[in-house]
Amino acid sequence: MRRHAGVDDLPAVPATVDSEIFRRQFLTFFERWESSGRPGSFLIIFDEVDKFFPNREIPNSTVILAEYVHCFRVLRGLAQTRQCLVLLVIAYRPEVNRHNLLAPGVGENPMFRSFQEEHLGFLAAADSNALLHDVGLWKEITWDGPARQRVFHYCGGHPLVTRLFASQACEEGVRKMIDVTRVEEVAAEIQATFRRHDIGNYYKEGIWDLLREEEQQVLNAICRNGTDGIPEAELAGERREDALSSLEHFGLVTNADRRLHLTSALFRSWVQRRLSV
């Protein structure tokens, strides 16, 4: 019998037609893992779990929610009774951990308050600088220190936007030296072509269109005051405060001495462009 990483070949997997068969199959795999002398639980990762946990106002959402409850009830049972698995879910919002009663006929969320929440946000300045420096070295591209700092100013540490900005700055590897002058040129080019630029399109489709109305209103309020931001006290009220908390978790807004600013100068310019139309 062939072996891989100290574990015998896995047993044949019959068709899974119900949760009990799935549970037995999973435990068979785990027992094989344990018998190989490898301690520890399995890690199961659900990316974009939001699609499995839709807003209750969406038509036919109860059908998806019922499947979610059925699936995670089994996984939670395995985790609690056998300590054989750990769940990692990636979501745009934390509702999967915070909503308990889901819908009539669906019941309660089996994972209510079961996850430890970690808000990722964007890259810190040091990490953004390291990204530009290290990736640049792979293609023999040199970024001077002030240039990297200005990229963080414009992109706010957003990994995708930073990558798109850097690609344009070096002309996809043609330019081998990037200084502050080049960064300022690229920033001006992007701001002049938001409507048809990849970064402008991402701001609309990847950020703005996914925000709730209250969150959009908070961003508008912050940007109406130019680059100075606004005092946090101007956003009093439960709905606006909740929206602000979400924006801070997303990494879009920073709070310095109780004054609110957008973390990215480019995104601020994009929002202000919308306000002026």
Domain boundaries, the chain: 3-108, 125-192, 211-276
Cβ–Cβ under 8 Å, residues 208 and 214: no
Report the distance separating Cα 22 and Cα 2, nearest Å. 25
State residue 85's pLDDT score: 94
State residue 58's pLDDT score: 82
> Residue 139 pairs with which residues in a beta bridge?
none
State residue 7's pLDDT score: 57
Would you write out the chain's pLDDT as a tens digit for each of its 277 residues? Answer: 344 455 556 667 767 678 888 898 899 889 888 888 877 899 999 999 988 998 887 888 899 999 999 999 999 999 998 889 999 999 988 999 999 998 888 999 999 999 999 988 899 999 999 999 999 999 999 999 999 999 999 999 999 999 999 999 999 999 999 999 999 999 999 999 999 999 999 999 999 999 999 999 999 999 988 777 899 999 888 889 999 999 999 999 999 888 999 999 999 999 999 988 6
State residue 215's pLDDT score: 96
Contacts 24+ apart (CB under 8 A), 222-230: 222/253, 222/260, 222/261, 222/262, 223/262, 223/268, 223/271, 223/272, 223/275, 224/275, 226/272, 227/261, 227/265, 227/268, 228/259, 229/259, 229/260, 229/261, 229/262, 230/259, 230/260
Q: The domain 211-276 is classified under which CATH number: 2.60.290.11, 1.10.10.10, 3.30.390.50, 3.30.70.520? A: 1.10.10.10
State residue 8's pLDDT score: 59
Report the distance separating Cα 124 and Cα 131, nearest Å. 11
State residue 2's pLDDT score: 42
φ and ψ at 45, to 5 degrees? Answer: -110, 130
State residue 140's pLDDT score: 95
Fold of domain 125-192: Helicase, Ruva Protein; domain 3 (1.10.8)
